[in-house]
């Protein structure tokens, strides 16, 4: 019997589901940029790594209340966040292009580096219902789309608080 390990971080279809979940629950008025969407997705699938980011005291308090285990206390062994973030780059880009190609994003905003679900995208998210968000993701999703979405605004701000950047950027 051959066993193959599955990693949600490297699965295009799961990345599409996470993008739909993030954007369907995004509460900040401004639509996220590509970089913010990618970083938010990274932390949605790897919530223990949020412990390694810089946050204001209010945001840190909100995060601490979620009681997410620290990376060293979790079941998984995580590589460095920057290595994992770069490993996910191709998968995230492919998922994004598929959603754009299917008309699930507002194309006018995409041209401005902002991502918001189109009417078709909202319908798909609604149709998926409870399958869109996994039970273990609910707390991290709420945090990422409310508190985390508001921090690190401005060019380079998100990189400064997370330390994440893609090779060549």
| Residue with tokens 């090779």, as numbered in its chain | 167
What average pLDDT score do residues 122-142 get? 93
CB 33, CB 116: distance < 8 Å: no
Distance of CA 68 to the CA centre of its chain: 16
pTM, two decimal places: 0.91
| Residue with tokens 């490993």, as numbered in its chain | 87
Could you report the per-residue pLDDT of 67-120, keeping only the tens digit for each?
999 988 877 788 899 999 999 999 999 999 999 999 999 999 999 999 999 999
- Report the alpha-carbon distance of residue 99 to residue 138 in Å, rounded: 22
Q: What is the DSSP string of 49-62?
A: GGGGS---HHHHHH
Range list of β-strands (E), 59-163:
none
Could you report the per-residue pLDDT of 21-40, keeping only the tens digit for each?
999 999 877 899 999 999 99
């Amino acid at each position: 019997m051959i066993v193959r390990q599955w990693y949600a971080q490297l699965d295009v279809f799961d990345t599409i589901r996470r993008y739909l979940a993030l954007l369907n629950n995004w509460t900040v008025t401004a639509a996220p940029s590509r970089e913010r969407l990618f970083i938010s997705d990274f932390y949605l699938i790897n919530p223990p790594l949020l412990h390694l980011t810089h946050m204001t005291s209010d945001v840190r308090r909100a995060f601490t209340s979620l009681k997410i285990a620290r990376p060293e206390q979790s079941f998984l062994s995580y590589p460095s966040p920057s290595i994992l973030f770069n490993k996910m780059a191709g998968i995230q880009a492919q998922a994004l292009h598929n959603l754009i190609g299917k008309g699930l994003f507002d194309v006018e905003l995409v041209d401005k580096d902002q991502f918001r679900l189109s009417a078709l995208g909202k319908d798909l998210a609604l149709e998926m219902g409870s399958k869109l968000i996994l039970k273990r993701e609910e707390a991290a999703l709420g945090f990422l789309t409310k508190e985390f979405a508001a921090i690190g605004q401005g060019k380079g701000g998100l990189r400064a608080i997370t330390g994440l950047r893609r090779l060549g950027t």
